[in-house]
């Protein structure tokens, strides 16, 4: 920036124009604040802009996913499916932004490389990757939980002759897979959706599976106009029901004690859950299924039997059944026809535990057993979850301290809102907050409202600097760790525990998620605010 061109300044800069950034922008504009959103991608929508693979949709009931802050918005928007597909959700977010005239406050293709705290002004200096500079007083991150894709590092990946990409970078222009030989590497929630969606149309599909996941049927269906009218009339009750459950979904745990329910009754209940839509099977189950080894083993066996019944070839079925972890301790991929896909003669499961990938060749994938010639390779290999998006920006606090150094062995935050040593850096859906582990928009609305209250509190009193004490942070991190201790997921090798085999240093356990449930989190934050924002320091 030359001397005659002053660096643009805003009171607030929000990073990210996804579900969280859009609502944070709306709330700050309501207060007449000077605010700008910087979005790294070419348009708004975050996850729903970027993920365009076939089958991409959310597992929240659509009518629990929309924003609840505007009755008019609720009444004018029609969801067409119980679990909305990506294009519809992206249309929804665009509709919200246009309705509230938010787009003019957004700048796209604006990826921040470095954010440096300036002690002299109590503000942040932002350096964008394209060389532009900006300053702001408060920097708010809404950069997503699952927005830093990770690729494996097989030899020869660049040599492949056909298209190959991560699911997050699925081409925006139409890609017709009809009649193509396709390889999908990875069988998490993304791979499972993709495989179910494309299996029937491709000429040949090879699914390269390392560790299988416990998947369960989504039972999606369309919403008729009459049903939508009924849903619109019930929004108050729907949001109230979501507010009562730990996950912020319509599904809350069954309060009966697992051991006191006779086995035949348990089975009948589980049959009901298996036939129910959405996360009922995961979040509406007995609590012990997620907390107690024995209950978990019994339910896992129930689901294993379902897989055996759905997959014709018993050997393939056994390979699709996880043996290293029980049901629900990793994120449960919700599927549509996933298991039946393996009954098609042109769909093949390649078990990487038996025959690992050796390299990618110009014509396909080579395992220790043989070469697989394919036209397209899709890497459904997941994300550097929760902290990855932070690590990709160099946040530099007072004294030249880098956030990525501070979080080297795992993140530490107070409430998922701030991290000690980084003043005026406020996170929506930060690590160790409840947004990470619950129905995202439900949690986001609370998080944004709470953060906005915090910012107003400081502004009304003329404070320039908001930060958290290291003591408050240490106590919160301990609390987060304790909550992990109550759940079997503490042992999982998944993003819930910060595991990612493709990121150096992420094969250790990291505490990314607040597992206490949304009601408890909201209560705690409510008390902290009422107590003058205990744990925060204002100057």
Binding site for ligand NAP (CB under 6 A): 58-59, 146, 152, 185-191, 193, 210-211, 331, 334, 352, 380-383, 495, 501-502
* Residue 58 or 514 with smaller CB distance to ligand NAP: 58
Residue nearest to ligand NAP (CB): 188
Minimum gap (Å) between residue 196 Cβ and ligand NAP: 11
Give 269: exposed, middle or buried? Use CB within 10 Å, 0-12, 13-18, 19+: middle
Minimum gap (Å) between residue 56 Cβ and ligand NAP: 7
Can you tell me which residue has the tokens 């795992």? 410
Minimum gap (Å) between residue 514 Cβ and ligand NAP: 15
CB-CB contact of 21 with 142 (8 Å): yes
- List residues bridging with 36 in a β-sheet: 13
Residues 6+ apart with CB under 8 A from 109: 39, 40, 41, 42, 130
Minimum gap (Å) between residue 194 Cβ and ligand NAP: 9
Phi/psi at 313 (5° precision):
-85, 115
For 443-478, the DSSP string reads HHHHHHHHHHHHHHHHHHTT---EEE-HHHHHHHHH
Minimum gap (Å) between residue 111 Cβ and ligand NAP: 21
Minimum gap (Å) between residue 90 Cβ and ligand NAP: 14
Which of 336, 259, 266 has the alpha carbon at shortest distance from 301?
266
- CA 447 – CA 468 distance, rounded (Å): 17
- CA 352 – CA 207 distance, rounded (Å): 10
Minimum gap (Å) between residue 45 Cβ and ligand NAP: 14
Give 537: exposed, middle or buried? Use CB within 10 Å, 0-12, 13-18, 19+: middle
- CA 517 – CA 519 distance, rounded (Å): 6
Token couple for 16: 């990210």
For 66-89, the DSSP string reads S--S-HHHHHH----BSS-BHHHH
- CA 373 – CA 285 distance, rounded (Å): 43
Minimum gap (Å) between residue 191 Cβ and ligand NAP: 5
- CA 49 – CA 435 distance, rounded (Å): 20
CB-CB contact of 458 with 505 (8 Å): no
Phi/psi at 150 (5° precision):
-125, 130
Minimum gap (Å) between residue 470 Cβ and ligand NAP: 31
**Residue 8 carries which DSSP code?**
P
* Residue 382 or 423 with smaller CB distance to ligand NAP: 382
364-367 sheet: strands from edge to edge: 357-361, 364-367, 371-373
- CA 24 – CA 14 distance, rounded (Å): 8
Give kind and range of the element (H or E) at residue 93: helix 86-99
- CA 99 – CA 26 distance, rounded (Å): 11
- CA 61 – CA 58 distance, rounded (Å): 8
Token couple for 116: 């440096």
* Residue 125 or 506 with smaller CB distance to ligand NAP: 506
Minimum gap (Å) between residue 209 Cβ and ligand NAP: 7
Minimum gap (Å) between residue 189 Cβ and ligand NAP: 4
- CA 281 – CA 254 distance, rounded (Å): 11
Can you tell me which residue has the tokens 């932002």? 126
Helices (H) and strands (E) in the chain, counts: 19, 20
Token couple for 21: 């950034």
């Amino acid at each position: 920036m030359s001397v005659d061109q002053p660096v643009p300044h805003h009171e607030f800069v929000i990073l990210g124009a996804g579900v969280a950034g859009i609502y944070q922008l709306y709330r700050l504009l309501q207060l007449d604040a000077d605010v700008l959103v910087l979005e790294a991608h070419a348009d708004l929508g975050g996850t729903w802009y970027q993920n365009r693979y076939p089958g991409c949709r959310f597992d929240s009931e659509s009518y629990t996913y929309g924003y609840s802050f505007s009755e008019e918005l609720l009444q004018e928007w029609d969801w067409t499916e119980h679990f909305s597909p990506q294009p519809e959700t992206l249309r929804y977010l665009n509709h919200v932004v246009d309705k509230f005239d938010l787009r003019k406050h957004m700048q796209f293709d604006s990826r921040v490389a470095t954010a440096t705290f300036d002690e002299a002004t109590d503000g942040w200096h932002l350096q964008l990757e394209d060389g532009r500079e900006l300053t702001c007083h408060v920097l708010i991150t809404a950069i997503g939980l699952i927005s830093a894709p990770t690729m494996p590092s097989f030899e020869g990946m660049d040599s492949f002759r056909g298209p190959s990409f991560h699911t997050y970078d699925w081409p925006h222009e139409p890609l017709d897979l009809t009649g193509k030989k396709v390889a999908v590497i990875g069988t998490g929630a993304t791979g499972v959706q993709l495989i179910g969606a494309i299996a029937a149309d491709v000429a040949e599909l090879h699914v390269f599976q390392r560790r299988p996941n416990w998947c369960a049927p989504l039972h999606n269906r369309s919403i008729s106009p009459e049903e939508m009218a009924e849903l619109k009339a019930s929004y108050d009750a729907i949001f109230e029901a979501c507010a009562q459950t730990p996950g912020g979904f319509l599904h809350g745990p069954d309060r009966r004690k697992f051991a006191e329910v006779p086995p035949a009754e348990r089975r009948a209940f589980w049959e009901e859950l298996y036939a129910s839509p959405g996360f009922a099977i995961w979040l509406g189950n007995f609590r012990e299924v997620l907390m107690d080894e024995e209950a978990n083993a019994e339910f896992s066996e129930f689901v294993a039997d379902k897989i055996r019944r759905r997959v014709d070839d018993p050997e393939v079925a056994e390979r699709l059944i996880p043996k290293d972890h029980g049901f629900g301790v990793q994120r449960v991929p919700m599927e549509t026809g996933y298991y039946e896909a393996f009954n098609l003669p042109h769909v093949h499961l390649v078990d990487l535990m038996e025959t690992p990938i050796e390299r990618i060749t110009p014509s396909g994938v080579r395992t220790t057993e043989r070469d697989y010639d394919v036209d397209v390779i899709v890497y459904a290999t997941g994300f550097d979850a929760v902290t990855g998006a932070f690590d990709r920006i160099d946040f530099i606090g007072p004294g030249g301290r880098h956030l990525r150094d501070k979080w080297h062995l795992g993140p530490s935050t107070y409430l998922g809102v701030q991290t000690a040593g980084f003043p005026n850096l406020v996170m929506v859906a930060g690590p160790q907050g409840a947004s990470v582990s619950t129905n995202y928009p439900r949690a986001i609305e609370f998080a944004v409202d709470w953060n906005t209250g915090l910012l107003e509190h400081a502004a009304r009193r003329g404070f320039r600097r908001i930060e958290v004490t290291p003591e408050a942070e240490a106590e919160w991190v301990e609390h987060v760790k304790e909550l992990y201790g109550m759940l079997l997921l503490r042992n999982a090798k998944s993003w819930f525990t910060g595991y990612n085999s493709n990121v150096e240093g992420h094969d250790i356990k990291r505490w990314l998620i607040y597992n206490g449930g949304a009601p408890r989190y909201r209560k705690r934050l409510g008390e902290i605010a009422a107590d003058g924002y205990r744990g925060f320091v204002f100057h």
